[in-house]
Amino acid sequence: DANIYLFVRVARLGARYILLLAEDHTESYRLDEVRRDFVANISHELKTPIGAVSLLAEALQAASDEPDQVRRFAKRLTKESERLAKITQEIIQLSRLQAADALTKPEVVDIDHVVALAIDQNRVAADSSRVTIVSGGDAGAEVYGDEPLLAVALHNLIANAIQYSPKGSRVGVGVTNADGIVEIAVTDQGAGIPEEDLDRVFERFYRIDQARSRHTGGSGLGLSIVKHVVQNHGGDVRVWSQVGNGSTFTIRLPEASHASQASLKEA
Contact track, ligand ADP, 28-57, x by CB under 6 A: ------------------------------
CB of 248 to ligand ADP, least distance (A): 9
∠ at Cα 245 (86, 252), nearest 5°? 60
Query: Residue 186 contacts by C-beta under 8 Å, 6 or more apart in sequence?
Result: 154, 157, 158, 161, 171, 172, 173, 248, 249, 250
Tell me which of 208, 230, 256, 264 binds ligand ADP, using CB under 6 A: 208
CA nearest to 145, candidates 175, 191, 96, 111: 111
Q: Taking CB under 6 A as the rule, does residue 154 contact ligand ADP?
A: no
Stretch that binds ligand ADP, among 14-22, 38-46, 143-151, 208-216 (CB under 6 A): 208-216
Residues 234-263 contacting ligand ADP, CB under 6 A: 247
Instruction: Confirm if 222 and 94 have CB atoms less than 8 A apart.
Output: no
CB of 42 to ligand ADP, least distance (A): 14
CB of 159 to ligand ADP, least distance (A): 8
Read off the DSSP letter of residue 20. E
**Bridge-based pairing state of the strands 142-145 and 170-178:** unpaired
∠ at Cα 223 (218, 227), nearest 5°? 160
Instruction: Confirm if 13 and 19 have CB atoms less than 8 A apart.
Output: yes
Tell me which of 222, 234, 235, 254 binds ligand ADP, using CB under 6 A: 222
Stretch that binds ligand ADP, among 25-33, 42-50, 211-219, 230-238 (CB under 6 A): 211-219
Q: Taking CB under 6 A as the rule, does residue 218 contact ligand ADP?
A: yes
Which residue type sits at 48? T
Tell me which of 93, 122, 189, 219 binds ligand ADP, using CB under 6 A: 219
| CA dist., res. 36 & res. 22, Å (int) | 26
* Of 122 and 224, CB closest to ligand ADP: 224
Chain residues in the site for ligand ADP (CB under 6 A): 156, 160-161, 164, 188, 190-191, 193, 201, 206-209, 213, 218-224, 247
